Structure 1
């Protein structure tokens, strides 16, 4: 009997009612996705997460009371936290980097085409990060040049095996599990196992933070 995959449950957090309504209209009812709730400020996120049990949260960056960075950090401290995609209008906003370090799985601009938003939700639900291509390079360059990060990152990565280093490099390039498996001649389950071990060794939350660490180290 074929296994039925449950839909990805999505919580939308944005202080703009029109943005929330537009995202809900776009996403709700699509095959494989269901919008389980909305919130208009980061202060409402813990209660909304309890009520809606989302797999993925679409999180605005700037909100009047509690911003998306703080809300993301609070979510990531919870048992079995949902994945977070930051949605922002500001492609040069340095706070995006702080949000990624707080545990967000990636970020997208609000003018990202709907099909790419849907793809991003599916990817992060599978544990793969998504970064808006138009600003990934600028964001990573900023990470590299933050004072003190370089040596700390290189010291942390020194604890990894050569094979784990190869996986880190592939993750930093934005490769999917399937692409890493093909490039390094291993199975997808082996790739997942390596990534799990890397996260544990480096005390990181997700693949995005692996990528940031690699770029901090100048790799």
Structure 2
């Protein structure tokens, strides 16, 4: 005897996974990752996009941010994955989001991703940062500091009471002068789980006051997906 309709479990919707490249600036640079996730949830609700939620006693939105930004740092090309219970119109997706978003949050591009793709956090390899503009005095100090840092075998530091070496987390530092004698700093830092370089700590090693230098994360570098062997 077959199951009655009332005894059958509700079929689960087929989800669509969308990866969004977005910018975070203005007052939102002082918003942490958990609050940013709540803001995204409200934005998608206002945009009438069918955001999916986890199952269980305490359902949560299916949102996956690639990497949390330190407070006070802007993000020019951040990444996040969202799951929807119905396929959004990708031609109008960013427009819908931006009309519903608060100042400082802007969707730049979007693409549909395979549901089987690894979680974003597991694919983050490195992050690119831009610091400045620097005054001529700051720039001169940073040039000298860069030579010292890049030639060092190790840069012992402490984070949350634990010692670690900052040097292997620094992949690149490039000084970019301007016509006024100052300039900016471009750096690429490792951003793997358990091995993440902080741009503010690099600035401190260069002899700069991190809180006094505007800092932006300009990109997140993902490692290639490992092909699934069948």
Considering fraction of residues, name the structure with more strand. 2
**TM-score, length-scaled by structure 2:** 0.28
**TM-score, length-scaled by structure 1:** 0.29
Considering fraction of residues, name the structure with more helix. 1
